[in-house]
Amino acid sequence: MNLRALRAALSICLVIICIPPMFPQKLEMFNYTSHGDYDLAVPKFDLMKPEGTQGIAVWKEDTYIHKLFNSVVKSVLPKKKRDMLHLNTAVLLAFTRRGEVINCKFLLNTDDRNILTEEELYKIYIKLKRIRINPYKVRIDSDPVAGGTSPDYAIISGPLISRTGRERIMLNSDKK
């Protein structure tokens, strides 16, 4: 191969290497595990896992938990999108006795994976990680099944669907 042909081949290789891809690959931020009608979405970027004994979350007012989740979800998702979600789409939030959020995972109806983007799930995740559960309103009791030992954390779930979305679904199910 002569020198001119070698330079031409090198130039073509450099152009191919230096041109950014036409279709950049989108990295998934969550691992998805299928569980029948829903998927469990676990953040890849969060390595925090609850440690110790799991207890049972007990609260006197349902409104506290609903307002807590609703305020976060409302700040990220527009009402139209919240109304499109299914009943079994929720977030699972692990927290300590002091009310510190350890991590959160999402239960997504398989149809809702086409509605919610990973960016929206990430924003909800970040906002939930910043909140603090009021230990005077939500306490962690020991689980008698686990032997009654002093618990270190509990997991609560909260809906991603709006109240009007829940009411719409309940009305439609009553008509059937």
Q: What are the boundaries of each domain within the chain?
A: 26-175
- In which residue are the tokens 């950049």 written? 24
CA-atom Rg of the chain in angstroms: 23
User: CB of 109 within 8 A of CB of 37?
Assistant: yes
Check residue 47 and give its pLDDT. Answer: 83
Model pLDDT for residues 119-138, shown as the tens digit of each residue? 999 999 999 999 999 999 99
| Tokens encoding 106 | 């999402």
Task: Point out the residues of the chain with pLDDT beneath 70.
Answer: 1-27, 146, 162-170, 172-176
Record the pTM: 0.77
Check residue 26 and give its pLDDT. Answer: 54
Check residue 4 and give its pLDDT. Answer: 61
> Rounded CA gap, 145 and 148, in Å?
7
Model pLDDT for residues 63-82, shown as the tens digit of each residue? 888 888 889 999 999 988 98
Residue type at 26? Answer: K
> Rounded CA gap, 2 and 123, in Å?
57
Check residue 76 and give its pLDDT. Answer: 95
